[in-house]
Chains A and B, each alone.
Chain A
Amino acid sequence: MLLRNIIQRSLTKVRVNVQLQLERRNATVASPVTLDENVVRPEAKELSKSDQKFNSLQQRFVYPEFLPNPTLEWRNPIREKLERIDMMRRRSQVDLPEFYVGSILAVTSSTQHAVSKQTRFLGICIKREGCGLRASFVLRNVIDHIGIEIRYFLYDPKILKLDVIKLEKRLDDELYYLRDALPEYSTFPEDMEPEILPDGMPIPINTTKVVMKPRPWYARWERTHFQGINRELMMTHVSEKMKMQIPLHEKPWEKYDLMKQYRSTIPEEEQKDIFAEVDSELHKLELLRKKQKRKRAFVKPLKSS
């Protein structure tokens, strides 16, 4: 009897999660039209009550590192709480704005190898990973025709400033395929002008499809389903034998594996509790950031002669 209850409960949770995941997929992958409906940025308008509810669910995309690792045997509520407290402490010292895989960032940091100097690295974010204080991201840029990648811990106290140069999303959750794409897709000038997204605008999705270099590659990209790769052109570099192997490595059943999705996500109720704990402070920081942004966006009017 009890067992049945438990199973029923877990299945309802699964359903919620699948819904969330589908929503998320819409938000990240689907065309911009559906995005307009789904992603409304928090500062969009005066929030009504239903919007606020919606908003707390949106936070998981803006601050994904606040959600703990869903692996059950690694979880502990007190450790997670302590970790969140530490994260908020760091956030009170440095502005860590919202960004996504595909956004262009510039990190100003200090290093013990160059005393009394600051280093700045600008590049496209190709990966975001880790939960809590160990959250990290990888930036990639091509400087002097040589591709360079640097991984940063988001909460590293050596980071002095994190600027979002261009806030946008790509079609995929990780962009490691840029390593094997033509260099022009990961080349960004160091002195790129920051583009400030107006308040209330949905985050644009960059739908560029990159052209791959001939093999050898870092991974078997022809076996993956990344949306951001120009598949037709990529297949010209792939031999007939490799093409024949593609269907052998497909796992079409995985999208129906409810338990896998359940195990890899935090239930919605827990997400709400977590964000309820840090929401007020995050909101304060967001207001502060908005104020500074307005200052930056202000351009001195030209004298009309």
Chain B
Amino acid sequence: MDLLRLGVRKFHSTPSCNHIIKMSRLRVVDNSAIGKEAMAEGRPPKVIHVYTKTGVGTIGDKVLMAIKGEKKKGILVGVKKHQPANIPKFDTNNVVLIDDSGTPLGTRIHAPVPHLLRTILKERTIAKKCDYSKLIAIAPRFV
């Protein structure tokens, strides 16, 4: 056991606090080719920008990620951060990759999605600019 652990680095680039900030690692939960490959390789995407005023992302926020040498945008669909009552707190920081118009790159999401996301994305949808209705449509189940 000890021998095995010698090869493992003891520090983590994701900070121990559960905020999603620059340099946080995320988990891609859709079936887009690039996301699947990155997760299979064991090199999950890294946040290089959070599109909020505070620089900290929560459910429904848009982030820019470095994934397999490319820059991709994504929507956070579940976070580790402490949440208020009735809103789920996930064990991982989940993200769904999207393109510039808000359409998801994959065709399926394989993780539960909070109900709250529906309201948030509805508010953030701008006609003919970014449309998140597709993302909501492919969500398999809400918690």
Contact = CB atoms under 8 A, between A and B. Distances in A.
Direct contact, A vs B (beta carbon within 8 Å)? yes
A113 B119 contact: yes
Nearest to A183: B91
Interface of B, helix, strand, loop or mixed by DSSP = loop
A151 B143 CA distance: 12
B1 to A, nearest CB: 6
A150 B116 CA distance: 13
A216 B87 CA distance: 25
B22 interface: no
Nearest to B29: A146
Contacts of B19: none
A146 B112 contact: yes
Contacts of B29: 146
Contacts of A148: 88-91, 112, 143
Contacts, number: 66
Contact of B86 (A147, A151, A236): A151
Interface residues of A, number: 23
A146 B111 CA distance: 7
B115 A144 contact: no
Interface string A115-149: 00001010000000000000010000001101111
Contacts of A236: 1
Interface stretch (A22-30, A152-160, A201-209, A291-299): A152-160
A119 B143 contact: yes
The 3 closest A-B pairs by CB, nearest first: A147-B91, A113-B115, A113-B119
9 contacts: A111-B86, A113-B115, A136-B85, A144-B111, A146-B78, A151-B86, A151-B89, A216-B12, A216-B16
Given A119-B142, A179-B91, 17 more contacts: A111-B115, A112-B119, A143-B143, A146-B90, A146-B112, A148-B90, A148-B112, A149-B88, A149-B89, A150-B88, A150-B89, A151-B83, A151-B84, A151-B85, A153-B85, A158-B86, A216-B12
